[in-house]
Amino acid sequence: MLGTEKALGLTERPPRDGPGHRCHAHVPEAADEGPPGRDDVRVGSVRGWQADDLGPAPDDDRDPVAGVQVDGHRDRDEPERDSPGRPHHKSSRGMPHPLRMRPTRPRTRLDEGVTRVASMNRTTPPRPLDVEALFPELAAHRGTTTRLHPRPGRPGVSESSVGGPMLWPADEPWPVCTEVHGRGRGRRLEDVRRRREVLAAAYAREPYEGLTEEELRLVEELEREHLVPGASENDPLPMIGLAQLYARDVPDLPAGPGGADLLQVFWCPFDAHRPTGYSTLLHLRWRRAAEVADVLTSPPRPEVVGYEGYVPEPCALHPEQVVTYPFAGLLPEDLCARIDAWEEALEEEAEEQEDEADPVAYQYDLSIPPGWRAGGYASWHKTDPYPMDCPTCATPMTLLLTVDTSEWDGGTGSWTPLEDQGLHPHPAAVPTGVVVGNHGELNVFTCPADPGHPPRWSVQ
Ligand SMILES: [Zn+2]
Ligand SMILES: [Zn+2]
């Protein structure tokens, strides 16, 4: 019942002729496409669905440092999303080609018996090769992004966190969703968390043999939906605090408006918003942390959630700045084509040698890291690039934040931090419990001309 086998496909790299591989890719007319059927949401195998719309703020769209936007979709009936983590059947990739790759592979260090000590830091291994040595023009496109590396913890209001307590003024209304949608039926937050504990305990057993009868019964009980008596379709619904980022902790966090140094991100726990009726609703709040005197200690919570992936586990962050390069389809056409040809040659070579390991790839190993991060470049692997211009002033927007379902997976294992190598992917690679789209990522964009302009977002 855990559905892990069904989720296997999610870890595979998509075929080269799928979205995300083409140079100067076709821009989909995304906004008026309808929600996908089940077969349309396979990662990379079929064109995904993406939409973007300008939704109203749920509470106060006149606030210059707040804004909301609508996007995102998930197939509500999709069974595999409920699996406890994405198995990593490609997690042990082979050594890269000795002539092309730099020899540094972090696993070597661990294999040599270096004692791993508890560390507050997370360290991205060196990339398997120096991509700028192969494609010197990439130097002009080099950027940085800050991997947030959320890990279970007990963050306080004065710390950056995912799923931790917000530095929220006691006298300021908590963000609520007022869009009309069902909110009287769903899972209880405590049930969602308890179920995760049960599954994590089962996964921790060696050898893993699944759940006991007793655990199965408990999990079934915890998966039950509950009704909220008297709930109407437009009751103000408390949003869930998803993350807060202090600028001092996150070097690549784009500047906030008016000297704001704290970004707080909320979302409604239902897949029920415009434009599709299945979209995610975010609410962003920038503030100056020093102005918060009395902190709200017991924020309101929704009684039930429409989907457990909206419930983040409290995680402390271990920010790490790394080098990043743009999504291939957004590079100059000639450069993209040469990267494509290089990858094809590597793949052919691997096929000839019947090497089951994936060869190094620009998209998966060299350009954009997986996991939660701030700043840098957005990946468009599911839909192909889509114009992301400011709805207020038409300036092309920049990536503010990526909310990712997993910190690494079978396709992106080379980014697994040194400190996490060898850990069981569940729960190590899915520390937040957050699930976006079809085990994908949510990219939130901000206006570089005026960060007070409303954000936009896209699900990949
Ligand atoms: Zn809502
Ligand atoms: Zn703007």
d(CA 399, CA 455): 10
| 396: its two tokens | 């092309």
Write down the pLDDT at residue 16.
Answer: 52
Ligand 2 centroid to residue 255 C-alpha, Å: 13
| Whole-number pLDDT of residue 418 | 97
CA of 452 to the centre of ligand 2 (A): 8
Give 387 Cα–ligand 2 centroid separation in angstroms: 14
From residue 1, give the alpha-carbon distance in Å to each of 7, 187, 211, 427. Answer: 12, 18, 9, 18
What residues have CB less than 8 Å from 459, skipping those under 6 apart?
Answer: 50, 71, 72, 73, 74, 280, 382, 436, 437, 440, 441, 442, 443
Report how far ligand 2's centroid is from the alpha carbon of 448 (Å).
Answer: 7
Q: How far is the CA of 315 from the centre of ligand 1 (A)?
A: 24
CB 264 within 8 A of CB 294: no
- 451 CA to centre of ligand 2 in angstroms: 7
- Looking at all shown ligands, the one closest to residue 393's CA atom is 2
Residue matched to tokens 């995304």: 30
Q: Where are the alpha helices (DSSP H) in 223-354?
A: 333-352
At 175 the three-state DSSP class reads coil
Q: What pLDDT, on the 0 to 100 scale, is given for residue 357?
A: 84
Sign of torsion over alpha carbons 179, 183, 186, 189? positive
Distance between CA atoms of 414 and 399, rounded to whole angstroms?
Answer: 23
What is the number of the ligand closest to the CA of 390?
Answer: 2
Classified as helix, coil or strand, 147 is: strand
Ligand 1 mean position, distance from CA 278 (Å)? 10
DSSP letter at 143 equals: E
Residue 379, CB half-sphere, CA atoms under 13 Å: how many?
31
pTM (two decimals):
0.79
Give the number of the ligand closest to the Cα of residue 268: 1
**Whole-number pLDDT of residue 410:** 86
The answer to whether 185 and 304 are in contact (CB under 8 A) is: yes
Give the DSSP H/E element, type plus range, for residue 110.
helix 106-111
Residue 459 is predicted with a pLDDT of 94
Sequence-distant (≥ 6) Cβ neighbours of residue 203 within 8 angstroms: 84, 85, 424, 426, 427
User: Distance, CA 55 to ligand 1 centroid (Å)?
Assistant: 12
The dihedrals phi and psi of 262, each to the nearest 5 degrees, come to -140, 125
Ligand nearest to the CA of 450: 2
Rounded to the nearest whole angstrom, what is the distance from the C-alpha of residue 306 to the centroid of ligand 1?
9
Beta strands, E only, 195-261: 226-227, 237-238, 240-246
Going residue by residue through the chain, which has 460 residues, state the pLDDT in tens, using 9 for 90 and above. Answer: 343 333 333 345 655 555 555 576 544 434 333 333 322 222 222 222 223 333 333 333 333 333 333 344 444 333 333 333 333 333 333 333 322 333 333 333 333 333 444 457 999 999 999 999 999 999 999 999 999 999 999 999 999 999 999 999 999 999 999 999 999 999 999 999 999 999 999 988 988 899 999 999 999 999 999 999 999 999 999 999 999 999 999 999 999 999 999 999 999 999 999 999 999 999 999 999 999 999 999 999 999 999 999 999 999 999 999 999 999 999 999 999 999 999 999 999 999 998 888 899 999 999 999 999 999 999 999 888 989 999 999 999 999 999 999 999 988 999 999 999 999 888 899 999 999 999 999 999 999 999 999 999 999 9
58 CA to centre of ligand 1 in angstroms: 9
Give the pLDDT of residue 22.
58
Beta bridge partners of 389: 396
Distance 70 CA to ligand 2 centre (A): 17
Q: Kindly give, in sequence order, each residue whose CB lies less than 8 Å from that of residue 84, ignoring residues fewer than 6 positions away.
A: 2, 4, 196, 199, 200, 203, 426, 427, 430
User: In angstroms, what is the span from residue 314 Cα to ligand 2's centroid?
Assistant: 32
On whether the CB atoms of residues 151 and 316 are closer than 8 A, the answer is yes
**Closest ligand to Cα 175:** 1
Closest ligand to the CA of 236: 1
Torsion of CA 251, 165, 228, 72, to 10 degrees: 0
Ligand 1 midpoint to CA 284 (Å): 14
Distance 455 CA to ligand 2 centre (A): 9
- How many Å lie between the centroid of ligand 1 and the Cα of residue 335? 43
Q: Which residue has the tokens 């089940």?
A: 38
Cα of 24 vs centre of ligand 2, distance in Å, is 25
- pLDDT on residue 386: 86
- Measure 258 CA to ligand 2 centroid, in angstroms: 14
Rounded to the nearest angstrom, the distance between the alpha carbon of 454 and the centre of ligand 2 is 8
Query: Are residues 80 and 3 in contact, defined by beta-carbon separation less than 8 angstroms?
Result: yes
Q: How far is the CA of 54 from the centre of ligand 2 (A)?
A: 13
> What is the whole-number distance in angstroms between the Cα of residue 143 and the centre of ligand 2?
22
Angle between helices 213-222 and 189-204 (to 10 degrees): 160
* pLDDT tens-place string over residues 308-350: 999 999 999 999 999 999 999 999 999 999 999 999 999 999 9
Residue 133 has a pLDDT of 98
| Residues with Cβ within 8 Å of residue 106, at least 6 apart in sequence | 125, 126, 418, 421
Whole-number Å distance, alpha carbon 277 to ligand 2 midpoint, is 26
**C-alpha 151 – ligand 1 centre gap (Å):** 27
CA of 453 to the centre of ligand 2 (A): 5
Per-residue model confidence (pLDDT) at position 425: 86
Ligand 1 centroid – CA 254 distance (Å): 27
Distance from the alpha carbon of residue 422 to the mean position of ligand 2, in angstroms: 44
Three-state DSSP state, 345: helix
What is the model's pLDDT at position 115? 40
At 23 the pLDDT is 77
DSSP structural state of residue 363 = I
- Give dist(CA 371, CA 417) in Å, integer: 11
How far apart are the C-alpha atoms of 297 and 197, rounded to whole Å?
A: 25
With beta carbons less than 8 A apart as the criterion, state whether 286 and 266 touch. no
Give the ligand with the smallest distance to the CA of 235: 1
Residue 249, both tokens: 């902790």
Ligand nearest to the CA of 447: 2
Ligand nearest to C-alpha 282: 1
Q: 105-146: per-residue pLDDT in tens?
A: 333 333 333 344 445 799 999 999 999 999 999 999 999 999
Rounded Cα gap, residues 205 and 247, in angstroms: 39
How close is the Cα of 37 to the center of ligand 1, in Å?
Answer: 22
Q: 167: helix, coil or strand? A: coil
Which of 44, 88, 36, 121 has the alpha carbon at shortest distance from 417?
A: 121
Domains located in the chain, CATH noted: 6-187+225-459 (2.30.320.10)
